[in-house]
Amino acid sequence: MAKKKIKRIGVLTSGGDCPGLNAVIRAVTKKAIHEYGYEVIGFKDGFEGLLFNRHRKLNEVDVSGILTLGGTILGTTNRANPYKYPVEKKGNFVYKDLSAQVIENLRKLKIDCLVCIGGDGTLDTTHRLSTQGVAVVGVPKTVDNDVKGTDVTFGFDTAVHIATEAIDRLHTTAESHHRIMILEVMGRTAGWIALYAGVAGGGDGIIIPEIPYDISEIAQHIKDRRKNGKHFTILVVAEGARPLGGNVTVQRMVKDGSEPKRLGGVSFIIGQELEKLTGIESRNVVLGHLQRGGSPSPFDRILGTQLGSKAVDFIAQGEFGCMVGVKDNHMVKVPLSRVAQGSRLVALDHPLIKDARALGTCLGN
């Protein structure tokens, strides 16, 4: 079968914003134009731009100077899943499958391949489009680092840097006031940010979703520290952490969101319980979207550039229905069917967990 002739490609960013998105857009656009002579169309606000024909042609001037910028010049949204698009009807939201509209718009625009930059939700949608005959290539993005099929996602390194700096700053105030300081970080159901930042920042306790915590174990660890002359404690807690036999802490529900549960607030609960059990004053800090903002780290700029460049190579080679992943520091092709199988969680035998335990870090159990 003859290889598909590529003339025009599309690119979009979907889901939460993330440092490094612009690095990918820049790499896709520049390489597509320079090396292959493709025309590049950028869709605004993720799949919403595809649904409602909001797009712009991208050239070298458009992507010049954006490597260091956080966010995305194309905009994004996490409420535009074309297979489950929220439509308000009589004061309530109903969900409709508008994927046929997306496919028709791509056909009318003569898009030969679509590059979708996003996390597991975006890439699941990308996989579904692929099964309906759309030529797609995915690029993994998320601060949570939880996309299957890749060792790392861009955005994660920047988030870890920000969380680690926060731990460094909390150390001084915790030690001065002899308090328990609890830092709550992002990650949804995965504990990658908490684990890496906790180890990098020398956290005394690291609480992740993969290991349900026993509050009495954490309290005893804090008491033991005090007996040994350590009158303060730094705990790093993932937002998806849950007690043994309990559930995650839900901050609020969002009716029209692709992920209706908004996690957050577990650090308040842990802090209150620890005060009762230890008699030590606690304070908590929720980093939230600070972890997503600002300029990407050099690592994320490089990784985003490599992923975007490789995505264009895949297009030129006719390799569709796949994601560009990272395996042992090499760019690899990963079937989207594998990516769509769910989130990549921290394995209980992960070397960093073993190292943390060996250093006396409390993991909540």
Task: Look at residues 285, 240, 15 and name the one whose alpha carbon lies nearest to residue 139.
Answer: 15
Single out the catalytic residue among 45, 112, 124, 144: 144
Residue 95's CB is within 10 A of a number of other CB atoms, namely: 12
CA distances to 211, 229, 339 from 240, in Å: 10, 31, 21
DSSP 196-211: HHHHHTT-SEEE-TTS
CA-based torsion, 356, 357, 361, 364: positive or negative:
positive
Active-site residue flag, 144: yes
Q: Which of 6, 72, 85, 10 is closest to 41 using CA atoms?
A: 10
Q: Coil, helix or strand for 177?
A: helix
Q: Please report, in angstroms and rounded to a whole number, the separation of the first and last CA atoms in the chain.
A: 57
Phi, psi angle pair for 95, to nearest 5°: -110, 135
Give the C-alpha separation, 57 to 222, whole Å. Answer: 57
Q: Which residues pair with 331 in a beta bridge?
A: 326
Whole-number Å distance between alpha carbons of 233 and 275? 12
Nearest to 249, CA basis, from 264, 267, 268, 238: 264
Give the residue numbers annotated as catalytic, written as ranges. Answer: 144
